[in-house]
Structure 1
Amino acid sequence: MSENKSFDELLLPVRNDIDRIDKELLKLFTERMQCAERVAEIKRKAGIPVLNAAREQVILDRVKKEAGEYGDSAVALYSAIMSISRARQHNMLKSGGVLRDLEQNSPKTLKADPRVICQGAAGAFSHSAALRLFPGQKPIFLPGFRDVFEAVHNGAGDYGVVPVENSDAGSVSEVYDLIMKHRMFIVGAADIPVRHCLCRAKGTGAVKKVLSKHEALVQCSAYLAAHDIETEAYSNTAAAAKFIAETRLEGVGAVCSAQAAEEYGLEVIAADIQNTDNNCTRFIVISREAVLPEDAEKISLCFSLPHTPGSLCHTLERFALLGLNLTKIESRPIPERNFEYDFYLDFTGNVHDVQTLALICALSDEMPRFSFLGNYKES
């Protein structure tokens, strides 16, 4: 650094060059966006889609070659520019007509006095979730997740309450698969604290084996291993408690909630045996039809991506540009397609917001597989 010039003085001419270049770039960017608008009008008249992946790839290959050592950076820049251009075209063409109709015409509130269906039995954590989400209602209990989905799908119930994720054991994969199989909407959610107890029928001796739902056994694995207790998966925590109460098997207990233990008259041997103190399960409400409250706060989507480098990154960037906060992303194999995946995405937002709706509509037009799963409130 020159002894006669300060750092700012040395930097000033470079900053002036940057400001001049930025001014030129902004002018060129504006002109490019105007070209994108003209393209949209031509596409509207021709009835062709906004996304032309082959054309975009040609541009990216060219700029990478021409930019030399800055090739990868140039690709990132042009990918963002083309994404913004597509978004503008989608807005002009009002893409995603089906979703726009859904946003306009779906009910804004849940049904009054609904028929609510849960998996398991009275005293299960799904029971607690149902009471949180539908105060005063008496849920109908069915043995398995598949039974709940089929009952709602067939109209035997208005809403189903099922778990999708536990803070300790992770996602409930079967539920995600059933959502897509039955094309259900998510219309509500609740986070329920999970407190597991080791229980037995009174007078049945030391517990050497326990029955419970697989996820519950995983959540209590440390305690059960430390006490050398054998485990066996059962359909539901409360159903396991009910079975133990009815059969009074010697040396066999259940892992369940304190509510289930009380419901079936079991003796609590040890409380709070879960691995972590902040164990929590997220339950969702499934429905045949979408319900889109004006104050909904979370959106769930499912989509697949084209097999091109950076496709997931470029998709997520579009949420970042709108300041939308992603709260969950998970991949699930697509049945009968080797090494192809659907992505489940949760983010905070409201479908009644113009920009958010425009983004979802654009994605629905561009993705090979796309499902809008719902926009709902969390209790």
Structure 2
Amino acid sequence: MKDLQELRARLDVIDAQIVDLYKERMDIAREVGADKVKTGKKVFDPIREQAKLDQVTELLEDGFYQKGIGELYAQLMSQSRKIQYQILIEEGKENKSVFTPVAELPVSSKEIVYQGVPGSYSQLATKKYFGEDAKLKNVRSFREAVAAVVDQEADYSVLPIENSSAGMVSDVYDLLVQYEATIVGEVILPISHALVGVKGATLNSIKEVYSHPQALSQSSEYLEEHPDWKQLAIGNTAVAAKQIKAAGDITKAAICSEEAASLYELEIIDQGINRNENNSTRFIVLAGKKIYKKDAKKVSICFELPHVSGSLYRILSHVIFNDLNMTKIESRPIKDRTWEYRFYVDFEGNLQDAGVQNALLGIAEESKNLLILGNY
């Protein structure tokens, strides 16, 4: 039996050969890419790639080896495509971006829209981003807020996209695709919920608690300590406060911000009931135009994938290969298509970066319905 050192020495020789062959293969892939630029052929040819996978796996009889060589060649062809996408970028053959870089976000005399009523967290986030003197307008629904910018009725709208403890705001994700509005900014707002009521209301008098579903969820631990309270979901935390004020009933309470309590002259019964010092909500700033600030540092995209094994892995490899840091991924079911999903991905970068352009080109070629949601 050969000793371990001898076996390792043989592996070193084989590995050196593999490295040389790998380089040779990638050099040829680069030449293939140059030819595709001249002829206008698409980089991704799934029929050709599948034929190659079938060919190499048939050269081996052992099932384990067949699977292994299939995975190896899938990676080799993926890397070959990435080299060819780089060539398209270098030759200026990629699809030109419809996004326009700007030094600062333009603001006209139009209003900035948020969902809810005065005193809502959305209003607080809007003021935090645009300043106390900004001209604001509130609307009833997320859909109205998005439609306002798409229809050029407002410069920008501000909507919650996710909470650090309760997760994504799914309705907003869906609206981004339906309306193709553009994310041009974001603002993080620390969230501290208060339990509020009319004068005379106490913990013992409360029978019903009103708030937005997210606020109820974020305060679930506190609410579980009061199992007799009936929880009622409402469209907005500040709307809940306004409704409690109008009712004038000591058995009814709302969960909202302290600012909303002050605005509607309600008494704070308990503070910080979400019991999470790190609880924050991320709000996005939407525009109706395809613009981004020149110093933008995050890209948000969404795409659909064929329902086949490994498709998400192959798409995300474009982010990895181009040294981009992915900061978030979410999925949402696609309406009327059972068990099919749309993926939302955030990664660091700017649309002017070569790595970002290369990644987006590869994702566009190999996914379905890529939509760049924004660079901010």
| TM-score normalised by the chain length of structure 2 | 0.90
Amino acid of the residue matched to residue 49 of structure 1? K
Q: Choose which of 57, 60, 66 in structure 1 pairs with 2:59.
A: 66
2:279 alignment counterpart? 279
Aligned identity (percent) is 38
Q: Hey, what's the Cα distance between the residues in 1 that align with 2:8 and 2:44?
A: 37
1:6 alignment counterpart? none
Contact 1:297 1:375 (8 Å CA) reproduced: yes
1:224 alignment counterpart? 223
How do 1:3-152 residues align onto structure 2 when only pairs under 5 Å count? 12-67=5-60, 68=62, 69-94=64-89, 97-98=94-95, 100-102=96-98, 105-112=100-107, 115-136=111-132, 137-152=134-149
1:375 alignment counterpart? 375
Q: Choose which of 158, 163, 172 in structure 2 pairs with 1:166.
A: 163
Contact 1:221 1:275 (8 Å CA) reproduced: no
Amino acid of the residue matched to residue 11 of structure 2? I
Q: How large is the Cα RMSD of the aligned pairs? A: 2.3
* Structure 1 unmatched ranges of 5 or more: 3-9
Partner secondary structure for residue 158 of structure 1: strand
Amino acid of the residue matched to residue 236 of structure 2? N
* Deviation, structure 1 residue 11: 5.4
Amino acid of the residue matched to residue 310 of structure 1? G
Partner secondary structure for residue 102 of structure 1: coil
Q: Deviations over 1:313-361 (max 9, x none)?
A: 1222232223322221111111222221111111222222212211112
Q: Hey, what's the Cα distance between the residues in 1 that align with 2:167 and 2:244?
A: 27
Contact 1:142 1:148 (8 Å CA) reproduced: yes
1:304 alignment counterpart? 304
Q: Deviations over 1:48-86 (max 9, x none)?
A: 321111221222233344353333332332222111111
* Deviation, structure 1 residue 306: 2.2
Q: Hey, what's the Cα distance between the residues in 1 that align with 2:369 and 2:152?
A: 26
How do 1:305-324 residues align onto structure 2 when only pairs under 5 Å count? 305-324=305-324
Q: Deviations over 1:86-143 (max 9, x none)?
A: 1121222338844x3335x332421146631101112211112112211231421111
Q: Hey, what's the Cα distance between the residues in 2 that align with 1:58 and 1:196?
A: 59
Moved more, 320-329 or 165-174: 320-329
Q: Deviations over 1:189-224 (max 9, x none)?
A: 122111111001113562211111111111112212
Cα distance, 1:11–1:132 mapped onto 2, change above 3 Å: farther
Contact 2:302 2:372 (8 Å CA) reproduced: yes
Amino acid of the residue matched to residue 184 of structure 2? V
1:207 alignment counterpart? 206
* Structure 2 unmatched ranges of 5 or more: none
Aligned pairs, how many?
A: 367
Amino acid of the residue matched to residue 116 of structure 2? G
Q: Hey, what's the Cα distance between the residues in 2 that align with 1:336 and 1:313?
A: 25
1:5 alignment counterpart? none
Q: Hey, what's the Cα distance between the residues in 2 that align with 1:135 and 1:210?
A: 32
Amino acid of the residue matched to residue 245 of structure 2? A
